[in-house]
Amino acid sequence: MGKRDFARPHHVAFFDAMATELPDEYATQEVNHLTLGYFAVGGLSLLRELDRVNRDEITRWVLSFQVHPEAHDTEDNKGLFYGFCGSRSTQFPLPNVKDPCHNVSHLASTYSALAILKNVGYDLANIDSKTLLSSMKKLQQPDGSFMPTHIGAETDLRFMYCAAAICSMLDDWTGMDKLKAKEYILNCQSYDGGFGMVPGSESHGGGTFCAVAALYLMGFVQVDLASNLRDSSSIDIRMLLDWCLQRQVTGGGFQGRRNKPSDTCYAFWVGGVLKIIGAYHLIDHCALREFLLTCQSPYGGFTKFPDGRIPDIYHSYYGLAALSLLEEEGLEPLCVELGILSAAL
């Protein structure tokens, strides 16, 4: 395999295998089964190879994780989030054990489920969005942030993004208070222009993507750079632009934080921010492509860092997604703010 060539057949084989059966090493991530499915199906979608899997079977599999209200729900269950569970182990109770975590739908799993369904062409009008969104709104906290589950967990920009993407894909914003959400996001912008995962934390590539993409989906960020630079009512675009451009470092790749090595996934997370605000043309496209191609595994897929050998599904998906933003030949265009194919909109 030529290191500087995009090894499309190897990547097709890798994602085909991942969509069929995950290796044993992923057993510890069973609770994230739907999210792993999103990466596998998303990879085949980007490669224009989705016909290798049965879309109807995938649709049934995804829908089997949805939580529905039951007639015998108790007062304790009235705060349940009726989204999607991440796996079978979070879907059913253990025998003879009072398990508060069973039937726990999760914002990240719900985002993954809806994104998979969009990519395979399922009509989301068939989803009971009213129940899903009315229960999701109960996860929003007084400061505007979101808990990912009804039983409580950390609140940060990851789940804010998931909530915004869910509302956008369902074309219904009754699931959140957008003004409170915007206030929380703005409180996460750091002194240097990037966004931390929570207010007062260090700027981070993933958190910055979640913040900017959520604001864009909510209508608080414009579609071109000139308009964003003129509009000072939202985030500080000049500082954000400076922070993002500084993340492309020697070697062409992107780092997620200052003084960190380049990492395959940040070519999407930080590159995606620049794409959303209309500044993607300001990066060195050729250097970024060269960096990504050095992260290809000889077995297909991508590694986290250059010249690695063993790929993982997370970096493999985001390596493809980053190359899609670069308009790599043979890859499907991506709707960057939703993480689904542009054709799926």
Domain ranges of the chain: 8-92+100-341
Specify the CATH architecture of the domain 8-92+100-341: Alpha/alpha barrel (1.50)
The amino acid occupying position 88 is R
Give the CA count within 13 Å in the CB-facing half-sphere of 164. 30
Rounded CA-CA distance 253/262 in Å is 5
Neighbours of 219 (CB within 10 A): 11
Q: What is the pTM of this model?
A: 0.94
For position 182, what pLDDT does the model report?
96
Could you list the pLDDT tens digit for every one of the 345 residues in the chain?
Answer: 444 799 999 999 999 999 999 999 999 999 899 999 999 999 999 999 999 999 999 999 999 999 988 754 554 556 789 999 998 877 766 565 554 445 689 999 999 999 999 999 999 999 999 999 999 999 999 999 999 998 878 899 999 999 999 999 999 999 999 999 999 999 999 999 999 999 999 999 999 999 999 999 999 998 788 888 887 567 889 999 999 999 999 999 999 999 999 999 999 999 999 999 999 999 999 999 999 999 999 999 999 999 889 999 999 999 999 999 999 999 999 999 999 999 998
For position 74, what pLDDT does the model report?
52
Q: Which residue pairs from 12-17 have beta carbons closer than 8 angstroms and sit at least 24 positions apart in sequence?
A: 12/44, 12/47, 12/49, 12/52, 12/300, 13/300, 14/43, 14/297, 14/299, 14/300, 14/301, 14/311, 14/316, 15/40, 15/43, 15/44, 15/47, 15/49, 15/300, 15/301, 15/316, 16/44, 16/49, 16/52
